[in-house]
Amino acid sequence: MRGNADGLTRRQLLPPDTVARSRALRRGAGEPERLLWRALRSAMPQAKFRRQVPFGPYHVDFCSHAVRLIVEVDGDDHAAKQHADTLRTSFLHDEGYDVIRFGNDDVMTNLDGVVTTIAARVAYEKGGRP
């Protein structure tokens, strides 16, 4: 059976504006997110990353459900939102996902290093946690 006891899938159970918000976030992605998206899709297609995925009250930048990994690209404003980011990360950990964060500058100036770090984490997660 697909979905819950009433036959509804997770997507059907989301608040009505969630899918529209995900689409708007994808359309309005900044240059660092667009660069990383292209790099993830070409370097690690097996990880099946998705972008702007809803998790409870949040939308995460990139998520691989296959390896339960979330990648966040933080802009300059995240320095002022550290407490909110801590709560968000805690929520995502409680959902069973690991979270990696990179700054916009990291993505723009060291894309290869960022992708290498993510690839190592994907390989680790695929091998299983200790």
pLDDT tens-digit map of 47-92: 999 999 888 888 899 999 999 999 999 887 656 678 888 899 999 9
Which of 62, 59, 38, 37 is CA-nearest to residue 50?
62
**Residue 85 within any structural domain of the chain:** yes
79 in a structural domain: yes
- Check which CATH number belongs to the domain holding 119 and give it: 3.40.960.10
Host domain of residue 47: 30-127
* Region of poorest pLDDT, from 4-13, 21-30, 51-60, 115-124: 4-13
Residue scoring higher pLDDT (124 or 42): 42
**Residue 123 confidence class, pLDDT cut points 50, 70, 90:** confident
- Indicate whether 103 belongs to any domain: yes
Q: How many domains does the chain have?
A: 1
Residue 97 lies in a domain: yes
Q: What is the mean pLDDT of residues 11-15?
A: 64
Q: Has residue 13 been placed in a domain?
A: no
pLDDT of amino acid 130 = 43
Domain-located, residue 59: yes
